[in-house]
Amino acid sequence: MVQINMANKEITVKVVYYGPALSGKTTNLQMLHELMSPEARGKMVSLDTKDDRTLYFDFLPIEFGTTAGFAIRVKVFTVPGQVMHKSTRKVVLAGADAVAFVADSQVSSASANAYSWRDMEANLKANGFDFDAMPKVVQFNKRDLPDIKSLADIKKAWGHIPTHPAVAVRGEGVLETFRELMSVLYRNLDDRHQFATKFGVTEEDFLKGIFKNFRPPGA
């Protein structure tokens, strides 16, 4: 959960990228790391198996300042997608402030997406979270592949949950997904902790503080 240190004017939050195996969670973090200025990012840590699947987690620390004088630290994690690592996913979700669910757009991956979503819901509840209240966004990755679910069908199926198309290996949709995630995270934190009134940190300040450190893909 969010950590607020008033003495040092530091706010630390944790976000987790969740989804089925090989959906593109690690690729999202790699792209965020690549597109971010070195001054704002820490070292990305990945613990992988020999076949490049995430064995435990990926971790990317981000830090930025606000005009109100607060230092904001964002700890970004992924979870392993393989079914066998259910207990690990539960551990990584502990203390999360927001979740990005990375789905595979291919029609053939629908059942894997559905299983992973239910698994995420169960693990969040097991960690004591209100699943419906948890800030979350959904990214439908791999839009460059054949036989993918249409964006119209995706919007219809996911309703009020923000969804973003992406081709993460090209950086497409990565920043858009992360911006939406940071936006829903801020609104939740502001509702619970009055960030704007108590700390002088507005949503505009929060988003501007972090995204000034990114360059667009291809730039």
pLDDT of residue 120: 95
Q: Please say if the pLDDT value at position 3 is more than 70.
A: yes
Q: How far is CA 122 from the centre of its chain?
A: 18
Q: Please say if the pLDDT value at position 219 is more than 90.
A: no
Q: Each residue of 184-193: pLDDT tens digit?
A: 999 999 999 9
Neighbours of 22 (CB within 10 A): 19
Place of tokens 């109100």: 68
Q: Among residues of the chain, what percentage have pLDDT more than 70?
A: 92
Instruction: Please give the model's pTM, rounded to 2 decimal places.
Output: 0.92
Burial of residue 204 (CB within 10 Å: 0-12, 13-18, 19+) is exposed
Q: Please say if the pLDDT value at position 181 is more than 50.
A: yes
Domains contained in the chain, CATH given: 3-211 (3.40.50.300)
CA distance 54 to 71: 30
Beta carbons of 210 and 13 less than 8 angstroms apart:
no
CA distance 184 to 112: 25
pLDDT of residue 80: 76
Q: Each residue of 83-110: pLDDT tens digit?
A: 556 777 888 899 999 999 999 999 999 9
Q: Among residues of the chain, what percentage have pLDDT more than 90?
A: 72
Q: Please say if the pLDDT value at position 1 is more than 90.
A: no
**Which residue type is seen at 57?**
F
Q: Is 31 helix (H, G, I), strand (E, B) or coil?
A: helix
